[in-house]
């Protein structure tokens, strides 16, 4: 079957079956041989186990009629069944363990890769998405159980089929036992869905409990907790949050368990009635009674195991695999209409066309009808007080979010039409909320351009352009120094030193279309920041003729960006002024006022 045909047939499946199919496909692609072997052995192991009732019936008939052949045949049958059941179980356990280990790694890697490949970071901030991801992360381990559950369900169904045939051979009416087992099937498949729904509704309380646990047991918040003396309050809040999560979950489990117990009571009554019917009503021989007693008892065992697996399978299939399918669809949907290439160089520049944006879960506009043009080759400074929308503007340009309304154009083309990964390959820079990569210093910097991670010359060049050479020079082993106090021989850096390394990481790419420096030197004094911005701007202007690249400097310090070609002043989610330093000073508007105030403060 061609790939297109397979995708078409998959799209015709109901959503639940489609999610199951896609999860199984991941396992098959990871370990096709082990998957087939595990499934085959599960089915073979079902045969000798299900035939034990038959061998016991033959043995009972031989003893009753004193027939040596039946006694030997029944005994051999019991011995072979027991031996093969044990042998297949031992082999199957070894194969199963290897398969589960391999497929667990494949599934965990798949989930991690999906989350990392989502074009935006909205899914990490919207509460409803966080709840789904939280449950999915907790259940990733269970996804590898899906295959074992599928295999086991197949084996139990084989056992059930053989058992039903044995019962029907005594009397067709005994098949009705299966009907009495249906309530247990229903409650077993119904319970997980009810419980998972309650768990998801209570997930915010569970996340809060975990967050409070991390606060109380990790180093970063440790200083403040000890100074403020609120450790006992955090413990009490965590316990209260956990109780708010567990109380509805426990109640749901008790209710579903009560209904499940009633279903089993119905089946137990039918089983007792079947034995009485065969022994007293039909006056059957002892061999038939033995078969019904053993097969009936095993029927309850097989039904219990089958419905248990079905319940577990439903929990993974309709919950975990459904969430996995949602994450796959969500990761690919963002670029669904990305059909245009990223330009090799900027000819005209970037335009924000009536762009508005509000963060997920809020109603306040962080950007309100922003109309802004950034010409190719320009050095642009975005300034404003904290909360003015400066960082949000560059996050939209970096496609961390999509505009709530309006659009961003690159040389007249909607940015949403360009593949996010190709666009980000042409971006470089550093954000104010940088991450501390606790690797060897060369790796921590080299991650800014992963293909050149081990290129010593490229890393040293980036360190020099970022003005971070002084940080590396102070390290005992230079670029070979392990960073982070949690590691053997690891060295802790100051906030400013970490920030310089993050800035060096942003300079790893040589010819980006857009270089974003979002408060990259906030830990430095104003004069040092101004000197570095002068250095960055000069370097950017030298490289701009080749790529038409735009350098964006974001700062809350008006006095440090006066060298920019264009200064964009933001206030209250709006662009209130725009022009060069001299033009804005001549207007005597907001920029001139704030520049004068800040300049006086830094003298």
pLDDT of 312? 66
Nearest CA-CA partner of 308 in 157, 94, 90, 97? 157
* Phi, psi angles (nearest 5°) of residue 577: -150, 155
pLDDT of 373? 92
pLDDT of 1? 39
pLDDT band at 5; cut points 50, 70, 90: very low
Topology (CATH level 3) of domain 16-202+257-328: ABC transporter transmembrane region fold (1.20.1560)
Mean pLDDT lowest for which of 98-107, 124-133, 574-583? Answer: 124-133
Mean pLDDT lowest for which of 228-232, 338-342, 401-405? Answer: 228-232
pLDDT above 70 (res 244):
yes
| Strand arrangement, sheet containing 365-375 | 365-375, 349-358, 405-410, 413-414
- Computed over every residue of the chain, the mean pLDDT equals 78
Rounded CA separation 396/354 (Å): 13
pLDDT of 566? 92
Residue written as token pair 């009571």: 265
**Region of residue 88 (phi > 0: left; psi between -120 and 50: alpha; otherwise: beta):** alpha
* Phi, psi angles (nearest 5°) of residue 404: -65, -35
Q: What is the mean pLDDT of residues 284-313?
A: 72
More confident residue, 29 or 112: 29
Rounded CA separation 458/139 (Å): 41
* Phi, psi angles (nearest 5°) of residue 193: -65, -40
The torsion defined by the Cα of 525, 527, 528 and 530, in degrees rounded to 10, comes to 120
pLDDT of 375? 92
Q: What is the mean pLDDT of residues 52-76?
A: 73
Q: Read off the pTM.
A: 0.58
pLDDT in tens, 526-557: 666 667 777 777 767 766 677 888 989 888 77
Q: Sign of the C-alpha dihedral, residues 85, 91, 97, 103?
A: negative
Percent of the chain's residues with pLDDT above 70:
78
pLDDT in tens, 208-227: 888 888 888 877 777 777 77
More confident residue, 8 or 421: 421
pLDDT in tens, 350-381: 999 999 998 776 778 889 999 999 999 888 99
> How many CB atoms are closer than 10 A to CB 597?
11
Show me where the domains of the chain are located: 16-202+257-328, 434-511
Rounded CA separation 476/7 (Å): 56
**Can you state the angle between helices 590-602 and 526-547, rounded to 10 degrees?**
130
pLDDT of 320? 61
């Amino acid at each position: 079957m061609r790939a297109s045909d397979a995708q078409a047939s998959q799209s015709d499946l109901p959503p639940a079956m489609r999610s199951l199919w896609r999860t199984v496909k991941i396992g098959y692609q990871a370990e096709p041989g082990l998957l087939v072997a595990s499934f085959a052995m599960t089915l073979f192991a079902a045969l000798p186990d299900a035939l034990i009732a038959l061998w016991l019936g033959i043995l009972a008939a031989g003893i009753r009629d004193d027939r040596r052949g039946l006694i030997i045949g029944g005994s051999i049958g019991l011995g072979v069944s027991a031996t093969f059941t044990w042998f297949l179980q031992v082999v199957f356990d070894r194969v199963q363990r290897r398969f589960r280990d391999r497929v667990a790694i494949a599934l965990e890697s798949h989930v991690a890769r999906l989350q990392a490949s989502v074009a935006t970071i909205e899914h990490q901030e919207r509460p409803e998405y966080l709840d789904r991801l939280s449950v999915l992360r907790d259940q990733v381990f269970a996804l590898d159980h899906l295959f074992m559950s599928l295999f086991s369900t197949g084996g139990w169904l084989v056992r059930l089929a053989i058992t039903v045939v044995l019962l029907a051979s005594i009397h067709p009416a005994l098949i009705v036992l299966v009907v009495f087992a249906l309530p247990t099937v229903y409650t077993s498949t119904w319970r997980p869905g009810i419980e998972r729904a309650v768990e998801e509704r209570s997930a915010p309380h569970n996340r809060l409990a975990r967050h409070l646990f991390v606060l109380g047991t990790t180093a970063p918040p440790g200083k403040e907790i000890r100074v403020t003396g609120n450790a006992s309050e955090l413990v009490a809040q965590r316990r209260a949050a956990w109780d708010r999560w567990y109380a509805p979950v426990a109640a749901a489990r008790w209710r579903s368990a009560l209904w499940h117990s009633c279903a089993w009571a119905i089946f137990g009554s039918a089983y007792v009635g079947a034995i009485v019917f065969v022994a007293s009503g039909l006056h059957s021989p002892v061999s038939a009674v033995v078969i019904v007693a053993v097969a009936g008892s095993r029927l309850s065992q097989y039904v219990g195991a089958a419905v248990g697996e079905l319940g577990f399978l439903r929990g993974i299939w309709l919950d975990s695999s459904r969430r996995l399918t949602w994450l796959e669809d969500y990761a690919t949907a963002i670029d669904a209409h990305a059909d245009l290439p990223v330009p090799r160089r900027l000819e005209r520049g970037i335009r924000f066309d009536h762009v508005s944006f509000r963060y997920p879960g809020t109603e306040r506009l962080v950007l309100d009808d922003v109309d802004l043009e950034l010409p190719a080759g320009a050095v642009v400074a975005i300034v404003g007080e904290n909360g003015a929308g400066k960082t949000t503007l560059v996050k939209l340009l970096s496609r961390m979010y999509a505009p709530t309304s309006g659009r961003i154009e690159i040389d007249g083309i909607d940015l949403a039409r360009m593949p996010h990964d190709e666009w980000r390959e042409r971006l470089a820079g550093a954000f104010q909320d940088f991450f501390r990569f606790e690797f060897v210093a060369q790796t921590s910097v080299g991650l800014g351009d992963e293909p050149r991670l081990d290129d010593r010359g490229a890393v040293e060049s980036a360190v020099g352009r970022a003005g971070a050479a002084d940080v590396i020079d102070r390290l005992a082993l230079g670029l070979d120094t392990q960073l982070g106090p949690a590691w053997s021989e690891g060295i802790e850096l100051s906030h400013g030193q970490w920030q310089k390394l993050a800035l060096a990481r942003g300079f790893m790419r040589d010819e980006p279309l857009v270089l974003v420096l979002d408060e990259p030197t906030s830990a430095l004094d104003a004069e040092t920041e101004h000197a570095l911005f002068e250095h960055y701007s000069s370097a950017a202007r030298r490289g701009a003729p080749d790529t038409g690249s735009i350098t964006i400097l974001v700062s809350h310090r008006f006095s440090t960006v006066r060298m920019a070609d264009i200064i964009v002043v933001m206030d209250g989610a709006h662009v209130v002024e725009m022009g060069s330093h001299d033009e804005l000073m001549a207007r005597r508007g907001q920029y001139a006022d704030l520049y004068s105030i800040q300049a006086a403060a830094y003298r």
